[in-house]
Structure 1
Amino acid sequence: MAAKVITVFGATGNQGGSVARTFLTEQALADWRVRAVTRDASRPAAKNLKELGAEIVLADMNEMASLVAAMQGSYAVFAVTNYWEKADMEYEIQQGKNLADAAKAAKVKNYIWSSLYNIKELTNGALPHVYHCDSKAIVESYIRSLSIPATFFYAGFYMSNNSGIQSSPSEHAGAASFSNPEGLFKLTPDGRWVFSLPVSAKAVLPVYHTEDTGKYIKAAVLREEESLGGRILGATAYMTCGEIVEGFKMVFPKAGRSAEYRVQSEEEFRSELRVAGTPDYVIDEVYENMVLLEV
């Protein structure tokens, strides 16, 4: 029996990279072959996938012909776009539609789209600037309108944003070297690890590690009859901000002994991003994304 092909877009990135590695290494997926799509085959991540056995192909999400060629002969496709590459909603929507049109042309049997909820619609316009969610939701609606066999994956809150958990602070004073100014846990001048967002400690986050993405997509193909047409919610757990701090203390009992959660004001949150050079329109989007946790 010929191996089934899964074509993975974003194969050198977070979600796609996890999917490609999972399908290349797990015994339960031994009858699958991975076609990893990239714009640059010379990238180290692409070379690593090739060493694991992936077929590397070049394609551009803005060039329809290259997308159809990349998907030809594929049973399944995992597609993810990177809104933050340009922070342009219309640009991402067009790329998403191009991918969907190509999947239809290539007669893909399970098109797996990395989607998100339409926040503007869900909040009746109260949060109109969470473009990176809305754009993916608009593409999902377009995919459904094409009546192609599709599954929709919803990634949770990236715990890789959480510098304390991702970077494993040491259990001594040297923990300061692990402080990431863009992470959620920050080391204060008085030696405390502080997690702060502009929401209460009771706000709930659907926590998720991008490296687990492949596990969800594995389920999507192995349990296809159950998943086709549906949504797979990518969350390991649902934790409050306060529970995340308690988890930090458990993992790092010394460095995290005095860790705490602090509620930021809207102005504190915006000011912190502004000082880091973040454009105002992006600050609006990120702030509303945080507020969403309590809607």
Structure 2
Amino acid sequence: MTKLIVILGITGTQGASVADVFLQEPGWKLRGVTRDASRASTTYWKQKGVEIVEADLDKQESLEAAFEGANAIFGNIDSIGPMYDPYNYGKLRPGQTINEFCYELEVKRGKNMANAAATVDTLERFVFSGLPSIKLVTNGKYPHAYHFEAKAAIMAHIKSLPSLAAKTSEVQLGEFATNWKSWRSRRPVKQEDGSYAFLVPGDRDVPMPITVQRKDTGYFVRALVLMPPGKVLLGYGSFLSHADFNRVWTRILGVPDGGVKHITVEEFINFEGPPLGIELAEAVAGLMQFDMDTPGFLHPHEVPEEIGCPTTSIEEYLKSEDFSSMMEVL
């Protein structure tokens, strides 16, 4: 019998990756959920045979309709996009930051998503794209990584819904390999001596997961759909310290390797700037305190061989990029 997977945000990088993989998976049909089914970005998926439906994350009933008949659902809520929507700045309460507003918005939307998924009688697997709480990891030292906190709050809500929790697994993606395109603090910075160094807030530099999200998210989600529920998969293709990450960058770009430059969290915030500087600074500093080998995490290489979970290394990704465009922003 053919099964149905419903993909939230099919026009985004994560959702598109899930669609790519499940289009190749025998026995599955796909339904993509988007805010506007008439957008040009949905045409590609319609031509591939994907059913495209509209739903509003602010309206639970529209999500219930979009999820109807699903055997599997991939749930992902955009953290960053609303920060750059000028319309949202007019909604701020007195004294409220855009980061705080976006946290509340994401949690509200995530709860709507979870509540809607919990009504689906046919559902066998719900896979949520989540993140750990940096505030919890650091015992309250770094409370402002709101895009992490929102994901953790949504996962807590999912766990409070017994029928949904029993069908749920979570994928926690590593740092996106493409983050360098959006934020200058997430790429090597040219130093006075002409070398290039990664800026790291704090005094630690431990290995961290890095994922080529557009290519690999689908394989992570597929593994979780095919495996029993209750898993937390750490999704990555490379596991590198900033020093090793920088070594790969500079070798491929053909520029001098300046290693790592440790700076304070405040210096990192000022370097990146608003609105995301404080969140990136505290997230990176917090993850430097996080033990990725914590029991309970499933790593890609631990996925059963008969299911498989191929990944893409950061080196493979960087080699596929246009070097000239990289150098323009470095």
User: TM-score if structure 2 supplies the norm length?
Assistant: 0.74
Report matched runs for 1:102-141 at 5 Å: 102-107=116-121, 108-141=123-156
SS of 1:162's equivalent in the other structure is helix
**What is the deviation of 1:121?**
2.1
Q: Retained in 2: the 8 A contact 1:201–1:261? A: no
SS of 2:220's equivalent in the other structure is helix
**Alignment partner, residue 217 of structure 1:** 221
**What is the deviation of 1:61?**
0.6
**What is the deviation of 1:183?**
4.6
Using the aligned pairs only, state the percent identity. Answer: 31
Code of the residue aligned with 1:244 in structure 2: it is: F
- Paired residue total: 266
Alpha-carbon distance in 2 for matches of 1:267, 1:106:
46
Q: Retained in 1: the 8 A contact 2:265–2:285? A: no
144, 154, 158: which one pairs with 2:176? 158
**What is the deviation of 1:44?**
3.2
Report matched runs for 1:174-193 at 5 Å: 181=184, 183-187=186-190, 192-193=195-196
SS of 1:105's equivalent in the other structure is coil
Code of the residue aligned with 2:277 in structure 1: it is: I
SS of 1:143's equivalent in the other structure is helix
Q: Retained in 1: the 8 A contact 2:200–2:263? A: yes
2:111 matched to 1:100? no
Distance 1:73 1:283, change over 3 A: same
Alpha-carbon distance in 2 for matches of 1:273, 1:161:
13
Q: Retained in 2: the 8 A contact 1:208–1:236? A: yes
Q: Retained in 2: the 8 A contact 1:112–1:152? A: yes
Q: Give unpaired runs (5+ residues) of structure 2.
A: 83-98, 290-330
Report matched runs for 1:51-70 at 5 Å: 51-70=47-66
Alpha-carbon distance in 2 for matches of 1:259, 1:266:
20
**Alignment partner, residue 293 of structure 2:** none
Distance 1:241 1:187, change over 3 A: same
2:288 matched to 1:294? yes
**What is the deviation of 1:187?**
4.9
* Ranges of 4+ aligned residues in structure 1 off by more than 6 Å: none
Q: Which moved more, 1:153-162 or 1:83-92?
A: 83-92
Q: Retained in 1: the 8 A contact 2:6–2:31? A: yes
SS of 2:118's equivalent in the other structure is helix
Report matched runs for 1:246-261 at 5 Å: 246-252=247-253, 255-258=254-257, 260-261=259-260
Q: Retained in 2: the 8 A contact 1:199–1:293? A: no
Code of the residue aligned with 2:168 in structure 1: it is: A
Alpha-carbon distance in 1 for matches of 2:251, 2:195:
15
SS of 1:112's equivalent in the other structure is strand
**Alignment partner, residue 104 of structure 2:** 90
Code of the residue aligned with 1:85 in structure 2: it is: G
Q: Retained in 1: the 8 A contact 2:74–2:127? A: yes
2:13 matched to 1:10? no
- What CA deviation, in whole Å up to 9, does each residue of 1:2-29 have, x standing for no partner? x1110000111121111112111x2xx1
Q: Give unpaired runs (5+ residues) of structure 1.
A: 167-179
User: TM-score if structure 1 supplies the norm length?
Assistant: 0.82
2:206 matched to 1:203? yes
Q: Retained in 1: the 8 A contact 2:176–2:213? A: yes
SS of 1:83's equivalent in the other structure is coil
**Alignment partner, residue 306 of structure 2:** none
Distance 1:183 1:233, change over 3 A: closer
